[in-house]
Amino acid sequence: MPIIEVDNLRKEFKVYQHRKGFWGAIRNLASSQYSLIKAVDGISFGVDEGQMIGYVGPNGAGKSTTIKMLTGILVPTSGKINVAGLTPHKNRKENARRIGVVFGQRTQLWWDLPVIESFQLLRRIYRVSGENYSRNLDMFHDLLNIGDFINTPVRKLSLGQRMRCDLAAALLHDPPILYLDEPTIGLDVVAKQRIRTFLNNINQERKITIVLTTHDLADVEKLCRRMMIIDHGKIIYDGTVDEIKRRYGKNRRLVVDFARNYKHIHIPGSEIIRRNGHRIWLQFNRDHYSASQLISQIAEKYDIIDLTLEEPEIETIVAGIYEGKMEE
Ligand SMILES: Nc1ncnc2c1ncn2[C@@H]1O[C@H](COP(=O)(O)OP(=O)(O)OP(=O)(O)O)[C@@H](O)[C@H]1O
Ligand SMILES: [Mg+2]
């Protein structure tokens, strides 16, 4: 049974077109010129209870607009949303009890207050029982390690620390659904990994349904079986992550830092697509070569300091989907 159902959902924004210059100003007086942005352009999908789904797409694709409609912050232009039997924008309060939300770009916490005081305020707003409150705080201590900075004002936290506190705050009232809009944006690898481990844990242990918006395909690859790709307000893919990897994830990139400045570098099975001093970017087809084969080849011939495997970017995959459709 889907806990979230979305049917032919649209959101349009009217944007005032301001004409510049003298004649532009006169024309602005004479008629107001609006242009219509179709931020979300007729999308339909369902999310089953306990599922963790990746919602990805390039900048401006419509991801945040979708999340805002699901949470009830934005009123749809048309279409239907049903979240656990409620229409979010019509039952905002009731809906808020059942959902947790994290916007990675902006904290939900009180900027000047110590983290713990934000938690206490939220506890009162959501009427969380003393028992549940302390059980949850214990869990956040264990899994998110927030104990070290729980008395620090939010504005003094690092981005990674703040994100962990935002996650904790979103889950204080035990919501069955969690919406995450770019929860790993701007974080380093270690901080990202910590958040991913936590999300996996609450999804599996507490069966929380999670909709995860991200630019980072590695998030989706590590966390979700299903992904939806949105572009220009339309869902252009809804299926398994494996299928996308199989179809579009063939070309992988390896970034190599050499210990010395080699004049001529040749590594069979790969192509150098960029070079910057001691660092090169190699592209290879993973159907033909494994990363470990390539790495051992490189290590045999050259002195290397560091290696990282880069995931394909969402833009590349979106382009691949359109190309595929044209070929069909
Ligand atoms: N309040 C608004 N008024 C006018 N246009 C808006 C508004 N909010 C979003 N848009 C426009 O709607 C489109 C979708 O925006 P949205 O924020 O949903 O994209 P996104 O997929 O979240 O992008 P990003 O990856 O950059 O966060 C964009 O063209 C954006 O400029
Ligand atoms: Mg966004």
Q: Which of 256, 249, 221 is nearest to 312 (CA)?
A: 249
% of the chain exceeding 70 in pLDDT: 99
Residue pLDDT, tens place only, 266-282: 888 888 988 998 999 99
- What's the mean pLDDT in 204-231? 93
Proximal ligand: closest to the CA of 37: 1
210 pocket-lining for ligand 1 (C-beta < 6 Å): no
Task: Say how many Å lie between the CA of residue 304 and the centre of ligand 1.
Answer: 43
Task: Say how many Å lie between the CA of residue 299 and the centre of ligand 1.
Answer: 45
Whether residue 290 is predicted with pLDDT greater than 90 in this model: the reply is: no
% of the chain exceeding 90 in pLDDT: 68
Residue pLDDT, tens place only, 246-266: 888 777 889 999 999 888 888
DSSP, collapsed to helix, strand or coil, labels residue 273 as: strand
63 pocket-lining for ligand 1 (C-beta < 6 Å): yes
pLDDT averaged over the chain? 91
Atom 10 of ligand 1: nearest residue by CA position = 39
DSSP, collapsed to helix, strand or coil, labels residue 328 as: coil
Report how many helices (DSSP H) and strands (DSSP E) the chain contains, helices first.
11, 13
DSSP, collapsed to helix, strand or coil, labels residue 92 as: helix
59 pocket-lining for ligand 1 (C-beta < 6 Å): yes
Please indicate whether residue 11 or residue 314 has the higher confidence score (pLDDT). Answer: 11
Atom 28 of ligand 1: nearest residue by CA position = 60
Q: Quote the tokens at residue 255.
A: 């970034």
57 pocket-lining for ligand 1 (C-beta < 6 Å): yes
CA distances for 112 relative to 157, 222, 254, angstroms: 11, 34, 43
Residue pLDDT, tens place only, 131-145: 999 999 999 999 999
Please state the pTM of the whole predicted model.
Answer: 0.85
Residue 189's pLDDT is: 86
Ligand 1 pocket mutation, candidates 11, 12, 13, criterion most atoms within 8 A of CB: 13
- What's the mean pLDDT in 230-237? 96
- What's the mean pLDDT in 44-69? 96
Q: Which of 208, 221, 228, 112 is nearest to 167 (CA)?
A: 208
Residue 225's pLDDT is: 96
Residue pLDDT, tens place only, 164-201: 999 999 999 999 999 999 999 989 888 899 999 999 99
Residue 216's pLDDT is: 85
- What's the mean pLDDT in 30-41? 86
Task: Say how many Å lie between the CA of residue 104 and the centre of ligand 2.
Answer: 9
Task: Say how many Å lie between the CA of residue 60 and the centre of ligand 2.
Answer: 7
Whether residue 28 is predicted with pLDDT greater than 80 in this model: the reply is: no
Proximal ligand: closest to the CA of 58: 1
Q: For 152, which DSSP code?
A: S
Ligand 1 pocket mutation, candidates 9, 34, 41, 63, criterion most atoms within 8 A of CB: 63
- What's the mean pLDDT in 153-167? 95
Whether residue 315 is predicted with pLDDT greater than 70 in this model: the reply is: yes
Whether residue 18 is predicted with pLDDT greater than 80 in this model: the reply is: no
Domains of the chain with bracketed CATH: 2-9+41-246 (3.40.50.300), 250-311 (3.30.70)
36 pocket-lining for ligand 1 (C-beta < 6 Å): no
Whether residue 46 is predicted with pLDDT greater than 80 in this model: the reply is: yes
13 pocket-lining for ligand 1 (C-beta < 6 Å): yes
- The answer to whether 4 touches 47, Cβ cutoff 8 Å, is yes
Residue pLDDT, tens place only, 102-131: 999 999 899 999 999 999 999 999 999 999
62 pocket-lining for ligand 1 (C-beta < 6 Å): yes
pLDDT tier for residue 328 given thresholds of 50, 70 and 90: low
CA 274/CA 254 separation, integer angstroms: 11
Residue 288's pLDDT is: 86
Residue 327's pLDDT is: 67
Q: Which of 256, 258, 220, 260 is nearest to 240 (CA)?
A: 220
Residue 77's pLDDT is: 98
Residue 110's pLDDT is: 93
Please indicate whether residue 317 or residue 8 has the higher confidence score (pLDDT). Answer: 8
